[in-house]
Amino acid sequence: MKISLQWLSRYIDLSGLPVAQITDALPMLGLEVEETASAGLQPLKNVVIGKILSFEKHPKADKLSVCSVDPGAPAGPRQIVCGAKNFAAGDLVPVALPGAVLPGDFEIKVSKLRDVESQGMMCSARELGLGDDHAGLLILTARGLPVGTSINDHFPPPDTVLDLSITANRGDCLGHIGVARDLAAYFDRALRLPGLTDATPAAPAPASEAAPLLASVSTTIETCPYYTATAIRGVRVAPSPDWLARDLLAVGLRPINNIVDITNWVMLETGQPLHAFDAANIGGQQINVRPARPGETIKLLDQGRVVALETTDCVIADAQNALAIGGIMGGENSGVTAATANIVLEAAWFRPGPIRKTSRRLALSTDSAQRYTRDADPAGVLFAARRATALILELAGGTVIGPRAVVGAPSRGDRAIDLTADYVRARCGFDIDDTTIAGTYRRLGFTVAQAPSGAWRVTVPSFRSDIDRPIDLVEEFVRIHGTTTIPSTPIAAPAPGDIENDDPLATFTRRAGAHLAGQGFAECVHYTLCDGHDLAALFGQPMADALALANPLTSELGHIRPSLIPGLLDALALNLAAHNAPRRLFEIGRVFRPAPDGALRELTAVSFVVLAAPATRAWLTRAPVDFYHAKKLALDLAALAGVSAARLQFHLITDNAAAGAGKVAPLPAPALWQRNHSAQTTDRARQIELACGLIDAKTARARDIKGHAIIAGELLLPRQIFTTESKRTRFQPFTAYPPTTRDLALVVDAATPAGDVADKLKTTAAKIAGKTFAVEAINIFDLYQGQNLPDGKKSLALSLTFRASDRTLTDDEVNAAFTKLQTDLAKSTPWQIRK
* Residue 475 annotated as binding site: yes
| Interval 748-761: pLDDT, tens | 998 887 878 888 88
pLDDT at 68 (0 to 100): 96
What are the phi and psi torsion angles at 248 (to 5°)? -65, -45
Distance CA 291, CA 313 (A): 6
Least trusted range by pLDDT, from 455-469, 572-586, 677-691, 738-752: 677-691
Give the span between the Cα atoms of 302 and 210, in whole angstroms: 32
**In terms of Cα–Cα distance, which of 386, 382, 406, 403 is closest to 394?**
386
What is the tens place of the pLDDT at every residue in 30-76?
999 999 988 878 889 999 999 999 999 999 999 999 999 999 978 78
Give me the pLDDT at residue 660, please.
43
Q: Are 548 and 558 in contact (CB under 8 A)?
A: yes
Q: How many CA atoms lie within 13 A of 266 on its CB side?
A: 28
Decide: residue 793, CB within 10 A, 0-12 exposed, 13-18 middle, 19+ buried: middle
Higher pLDDT, 254 or 274: 274
**Which pLDDT does position 123 carry in this prediction?**
94
Confidence of residue 664 (pLDDT cuts 50, 70, 90): very low
Percent of the chain with pLDDT over 70: 91
247 annotated to a ligand binding site: no
Report which of 95, 86, 271, 73 is spatially closest to residue 172, judged by C-alpha positions.
271
Per-residue model confidence (pLDDT) at position 552? 80
Asked whether residue 665 carries a pLDDT value surpassing 60, the answer given is no
Quick one: pLDDT at residue 208?
39
Query: pLDDT tens digits, residue range 727-736?
Result: 556 777 888 8
215, 285 Cβ separation under 8 angstroms: yes
Given a cut of 90, whether residue 507 has pLDDT beyond it is no
Q: What is the mean pLDDT of residues 97-113?
A: 92
Ramachandran angles phi, psi of 101, nearest 5°: -120, 110
All domains in the chain, ordered by first residue = 2-40+159-187 (3.30.56.10), 47-154 (2.40.50.140), 216-408 (3.50.40.10), 417-485 (3.30.56.10), 504-721 (3.30.930.10), 740-833 (3.30.70.380)
Nearest to residue 55, comparing CAs of 46, 45, 47, 66? 66
Question: What is the arithmetic mean of pLDDT over 260-289?
Answer: 95
Q: In the prediction, which pLDDT does 661 show? A: 40
User: Does 296 appear as a known binding residue?
Assistant: no
What is the pLDDT confidence band of residue 616, given thresholds at 50, 70 and 90? low
For residue 698, pLDDT over 50 is answered with yes
Following DSSP, what letter does each residue of 280-348 receive, concatenated? GGSGGGEEEEEEPPTT-EEEBTTTT-EEE--TTSEEEE-SSSEEEETTTEEBGGGS--TT--EEEEEEE
State residue 297's pLDDT score: 94
Contact 369, 174 (CB under 8 A): no
Q: What is the pLDDT of residues 640-659, one digit of tens each?
A: 887 766 667 777 787 644 44
Determine whether the annotation assigns residue 433 to a binding site: no
pLDDT of residue 668: 43
**Number of Cβ atoms within 10 Å of the Cβ of 32:** 12
Pairwise pLDDT comparison (681 vs 260), residue with the higher score: 260
Residue 272's pLDDT is 97
Instruction: Assign 377 a pLDDT band (cuts: 50, 70, 90).
Output: very high
Instruction: Kindly indicate the confidence band of residue 314, based on its pLDDT and cuts at 50, 70 and 90.
Output: very high
Top-ranked range on mean pLDDT: pick from 181-190, 297-306, 485-494: 181-190
**Mean pLDDT of the region 619-642:** 80
Q: Averaged over 577-597, what is the pLDDT? A: 87
Q: Regarding beta strands 47-58 and 92-96, do their DSSP bridges make them parallel or antiparallel, or are they unpaired?
A: antiparallel
User: Which range is least confidently modeled, 58-62, 616-620, 715-719?
Assistant: 616-620
With beta carbons less than 8 A apart as the criterion, state whether 800 and 778 touch: yes
* pLDDT, tens only, 794-810: 999 999 898 888 889 89
